[in-house]
Amino acid sequence: MATASEKPSARAGGSRARSPRMSGRERREQLVMIGRSVFAQKGYDATSVEEIAARAQVSKPIVYEHFGGKEGLYAVIVDRETSTLLGALEAALDDHRAHPRTLMERAALAFLTYIDEREDGFRILVRDSPATHQGGSYSTLLGDVAAKVESILTAQLRLRRYTAADAALYAQMLVGMVAFTGQWWLETRIPAKEDVAARMVNLSWFGLGALQKDPQLRGK
């Protein structure tokens, strides 16, 4: 007669251990976190619902139940990351009493802090979105930030008797510098983000401080 230890177990046969029971909200958040990690590592095309479900220790229908599929999960993640980054940048720029250079410093540091603290999210944002994705993109987000910077530059250019018509162009240049430098810094992490922010503002601020009113190419 078999002892208790020899009796067949209900888990015998190599069946997968079930994930701990979660509320619907907890399960949704778990899938978002796992999905964000996988999308960041592999990109959209190489990520599968099967892998996300396996990592979460749930069945594929659970993922479909919450998000309708891979595209739905991806859209939720991108929308969340876009809102987080844009919110941080808007908060950094939303102080009308602060000196413009201080605003630039805050915005640059906010951008680098987001990269530092949400690396997976940033990697997803800077990847090319799938053709089926209809939500906001990284370029759209940067355009929103540039519009905010443009309003600040307009006031500063007028104050210094420069044409305000150049504000949109300079805003694109400044935001592009911060965004591209941030992508480079993501892979190096040297120097510290505070030093990177200080140097970006040093270049941009003193460049703006010595602007020529009618710049011409010297090689013409």
Total length of the chain: 220
pLDDT of 2 above 70: no
For the stretch 6-48, pLDDT in tens is 444 444 444 445 556 888 889 999 999 999 999 999 999 999 9
What's the token pair of residue 144? 């929103």
pLDDT at 134: 58
pLDDT at 135: 57
Sequence-separated (6 or more) residues with CB below 8 Å from residue 91: 110
Please say whether the dihedral angle defined by the alpha carbons of residues 55, 131, 178 and 167, taken in this order, is positive or negative. Answer: negative
pLDDT at 41: 94
Sequence-separated (6 or more) residues with CB below 8 Å from residue 126: 138, 183
In this structure, are residues 147 and 171 in contact, taking their beta carbons and an 8 Å threshold? Answer: yes
pLDDT at 212: 76
Q: Cα(75)–Cα(47) distance, rounded to whole angstroms?
A: 14
Confidence of residue 220 (pLDDT cuts 50, 70, 90): low
For the stretch 135-192, pLDDT in tens is 567 888 889 899 989 988 898 888 878 888 899 999 999 999 999 999 999 999 999 9
